[in-house]
Amino acid sequence: MNNQFVILTGSKNNAGDFLIKYRAKKLFESIRPYRDIIDFNAWETIDNKKLEVINQSKCLILMGGPALQKNMYPGVYKLPKNLDEIKVPITTMGIGWKSPRGNWKDTFQYPLSITTMKLLDRIKADGLKGSVRDFHTLNTLENKGYDNFLMTGCPAYYDLENIEKEMQFPREIDKIAFSLGVSFVENNSMERQIKTQILSLKERFKEKLFEVVFHHSLDKQLFMQTYGSKHRHNYRHNEFADWLIKQKINYIDISGSAENLINYYSNVDLHIGYRVHAHIFMNSVKKLSLLISEDGRAKGSKSVINGMVVDGYVDTRENFIFKILNKLKFPIDRVISNKYSNPEIHKMLSYEFETKGHRSFQSSVLLKENLVIMKLFLASLP
């Protein structure tokens, strides 16, 4: 058996997914330096050649992202039909739920398929601790009978060079980045909300450098190669970019790599927006960030590090009729936007400036506490 871990990762185009893998490898390098890391794409089938590599490893680690979905297996992780073909222990690292509504009560009735439960049963039987990225995911699994997980946070939270540094409130805020989410693609009310927020923040910071950040590619051909030609992001993101041009608002595409995300946000003083991993990165390097939630992933992050978080929506329409109408591309919103989000954003920013980082300092402390659990998890691996 080789001294290696095999990890299955989901980074295709979204900059945040690349950051998960990048930071996870840094954690392994620091805490488990005698283990080599073999990285396979989670969405690709495990053929005989890959299976041989896995079975020569210490364990198989299902890595990061909102992987705890109804059809986690085989929908997210293309593992063999017969899980017994995998001869080494299976575990998870930093996986999270994907709940549209995202409320705590939803953790008690979260749907999982029979095959997904079969995979979770196998993980529990193998005897290793698993790792999840928030307490909502932890409670979801515990309510299904899986008590073998630790809440470590997402691997992307941990910049080992900055983790022990104290949060320093900036003397000046010169560059502000607004990260664009994905809820506007299917929901016109969210699109209107986001545009209102951008125009309002542009006016507030009119003497500063303000720009909108796309974490998914604006290159239509590249996006189609990654996600398929029928994906609505193909044109909705580009339509949004056209609107920004008309409003004379700067924007940038940072998709495709962790380095793009790191290099960009390292030069930002304040992040505001919908991208969870922009929020995670900014907190990891002790910078100011305000996250606007558009699903359960964002709401889950608030339970992990507190910080500045504003609800972008108040509820979702989850009954069968709305799901069918959505699939038929009928123009009806499944997300009910928070009409108070824009004033909440401004009030939260004003309070943070007045207190020189009250909520941000709390996040800095919690990151260090959560790293203790991440190290415990990594040390428990074979």
When computed from its CA atoms, the radius of gyration of the chain, rounded to whole angstroms, is 21
Task: Return d(Cα 311, Cα 129) in angstroms, integer.
Answer: 32
**pTM of the predicted protein model:** 0.92
Residue 233's pLDDT is: 54
Nearest to 169 by CA among 23, 286, 296, 311: 286
Supply the pLDDT for residue 327.
Answer: 59
Q: Helix, strand, or coil here: 340?
A: coil
Most trustworthy range by pLDDT among 65-69, 310-314, 342-346: 342-346
Question: Is 8:41 a contact under the CB 8 Å cutoff?
Answer: yes
Q: Judge whether 294 and 274 are in contact, CB under 8 Å.
A: yes
Query: So what's the pLDDT on residue 154?
Result: 96
Burial class (CB in 10 A: 0-12, 13-18, 19+), 363: buried
Contacts of 191 (CB under 8 A, 6+ apart): 184, 240
Q: What is the pLDDT of residues 351-381, one digit of tens each?
A: 999 999 999 999 999 999 999 999 999 999 9
Q: What is the pLDDT of residue 17?
A: 87
How far apart CA 196 and CA 198 sit, in angstroms, is: 6
pLDDT, one tens digit per residue, over 232-248 is 555 788 999 999 999 99
> What pLDDT score does 325 carry?
54
d(CA 32, CA 25): 10
Instruction: Round the average pLDDT of the chain to a whole number and report it.
Output: 91
| Predicted pLDDT of residue 13 | 64
| Secondary structure (3-state) at 372 | helix
Mean pLDDT of 285-306: 93
